[in-house]
């Protein structure tokens, strides 16, 4: 089976990238990737994103030291969003707020 060609065109050059702990299945964060961020992630096995607010590429952990190491990347059925499974140390903080993951605000 050939690797899918990710479709960056549907959302103006960006795709949603869900980051998941490969061991526990915990969703750690959601961010966006452009083609360059996706290519850097695949090439280096470290997670890169495109910052919509700063309009630039950034490596997760470049300032905090909480670098995410890629275990596996999965595309959805439409090839326009991905899950990045990472090796995630239980003590590591994935969220810029200092929380383990970015999903800690209960809505319902």
* 38/48 Cα distance (integer angstroms): 7
Domain range annotation of the chain? 15-87
Dihedral pair phi/psi, residue 44, rounded to 5°: -100, -15
Walk along the chain (108 residues) in steps of 10 and give the mean pLDDT of each run.
Answer: 86 97 96 98 98 94 90 97 93 90 95
DSSP state of 17: E
In this prediction the pTM is: 0.93
Dihedral pair phi/psi, residue 38, rounded to 5°: -60, -50
Is the CB of residue 82 less than 8 Å from the CB of residue 33? Answer: yes
Paired sense of beta strands 15-21 and 82-87, if any: parallel
Q: What CATH number matches the domain at 15-87, 3.40.640.10, 3.10.20.810, 3.30.420.40, 3.40.50.11240? A: 3.10.20.810
């Amino acid at each position: 089976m050939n690797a899918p060609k990710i479709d960056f065109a549907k959302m103006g050059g960006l795709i949603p990238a869900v980051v998941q702990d490969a061991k526990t299945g915990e969703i750690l964060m959601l961010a966006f990737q452009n083609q360059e961020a996706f290519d850097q992630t695949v090439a280096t096995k470290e997670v890169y994103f495109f910052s919509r607010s700063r309009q630039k590429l950034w490596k997760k952990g470049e300032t905090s030291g909480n670098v995410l190491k890629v275990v596996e990347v999965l595309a959805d059925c439409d090839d326009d969003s991905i899950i990045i499974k990472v090796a995630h140390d239980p003590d590591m903080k994935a969220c810029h707020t200092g929380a383990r993951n970015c999903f800690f605000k209960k809505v319902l």
